[in-house]
């Protein structure tokens, strides 16, 4: 298994081979998730040894799925997933991801009461009632960045796109994180980004999906064979094909809940 960071042209390649030092633990995380430093670079470190076994994802490791998600994100060319790779650390091999400094005043996803519903720039996902019996609506931004993340999630079959897994960057870009529950061969899509359902995919979006599909028969597919199962690789190809032929954002389907819980 390759453990080096594959080049992203950010000049970090040499530095990222250095010693990984744990500086903190991300306490909200369900698995062992650490904040760490490699030289001057802040990273997230999730050792395989700290993963809780999951009955519905019995194959491989969450770390491998996170690394696979990054490779697929790179094939899209949309910079959805921050640079992610496998390497060793003080608690053994795990996934490492570049830390992103978010803007705490921006939210890509929100839960609002009727009087706070914005007029424009947002998409409605679902209506419900909160603990105090008030009518609330789950909304998300109506931006190209989130359209791209929603498309990535359909292709990656992401079972865990919560609000907290969308990082709001100061310049308006949105990164997706926590892709351990991806690439299952069965339909598992669970996301808060249903606001685009039914929208036609744009030519540039279709071209990017087509690019991923082509890459699956080339280097991307080869790299993914070390990270996910052959059945999962076939299913990934089939999801690209289906999305290309339907050319619209899909609607929820199947028996499982379409949104993750909790939502944030
Ligand atoms: N690369 C990153 N940059 C900045 N913040 C991050 C990054 N990855 C995760 N986080 C933050 O840490 C929280 C927990 O990380 P997550 O990947 O969801 O871990 P877990 O798999 O344990 O749930 C996220 O909800 C997010 O707020
Ligand atoms: Mg998480």
Q: What residue owns the CA closest to ligand 1's atom 17?
A: 178
The string over 176-191, giving b where at least 16 C-beta atoms fall within 10 Å of a residue's C-beta and e elsewhere, is bbbbbbbbbbebbbbb
Say how many Å lie between the CA of residue 177 and the centre of ligand 1: 6
Strands 122-129 and 109-113: unpaired
Please give the number of the atom of ligand 1 that sits closest to the Cα of 100: 3
Q: Which residues line ligand 1 (CB under 6 A)?
A: 26, 28-31, 33, 44, 82, 97, 99-100, 164-165, 167, 177-178, 180
Q: Is the dihedral of CA 22, 26, 27, 30 positive or negative?
A: negative
Say how many Å lie between the CA of residue 10 and the centre of ligand 2: 26
Tokens in use for 165? 């897994």
Domain regions of the chain by residue span: 15-102+143-246
pLDDT of res. 255: 80
Helix (H) or strand (E) holding 232: helix 230-246
Confidence of residue 29 (pLDDT cuts 50, 70, 90): low
Q: Is the pLDDT of residue 75 over 80?
A: yes
Task: Report the share of the chain in percent with pLDDT over 70.
Answer: 96
pLDDT of res. 30: 73
Q: Tell me the angle at which helices 144-156 and 230-246 cross, rounded to the nearest 10 degrees.
A: 130
Q: Give Cα 149 to chain centroid, integer Å.
A: 7
């Amino acid at each position: 298994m390759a453990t080096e960071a594959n080049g992203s042209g950010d000049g970090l390649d040499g530095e990222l081979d250095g010693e990984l030092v744990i500086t903190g633990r991300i306490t909200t995380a369900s698995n062992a998730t650490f904040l760490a430093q490699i030289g001057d670079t802040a990273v997230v470190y999730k050792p395989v040894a700290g993963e809780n076994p999951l009955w519905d994802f019995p194959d491989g490791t969450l770390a491998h799925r996170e690394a696979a998600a990054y490779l697929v994100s790179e094939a899209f060319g949309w910079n959805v997933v921050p640079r992610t790779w496998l390497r060793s650390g003080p608690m053994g091999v795990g996934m490492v991801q570049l830390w992103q400094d978010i803007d705490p005043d921006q939210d890509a996803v929100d839960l609002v009461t009727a009087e706070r519903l914005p007029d424009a720039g947002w998409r409605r996902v679902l209506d419900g009632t909160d603990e105090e019996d008030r009518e609330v609506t789950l909304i998300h931004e109506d931006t190209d960045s989130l359209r791209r993340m929603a498309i990535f999630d359909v292709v990656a079959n992401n079972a865990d796109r919560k609000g907290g897994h969308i990082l709001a960057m100061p310049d308006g870009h949105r990164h997706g994180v926590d892709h351990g529950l991806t690439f299952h061969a069965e339909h598992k899509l669970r996301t808060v980004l249903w606001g685009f359902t039914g929208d036609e995919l744009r030519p540039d979006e279709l071209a990017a999906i087509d690019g991923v599909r082509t890459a699956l028969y080339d280097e991307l597919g080869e790299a993914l064979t070390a990270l996910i199962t052959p059945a999962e690789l076939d299913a990934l190809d089939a999801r690209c094909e289906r999305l290309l032929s339907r050319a619209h954002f899909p609607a929820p389907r199947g028996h499982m809940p379409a949104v993750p819980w909790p939502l944030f």
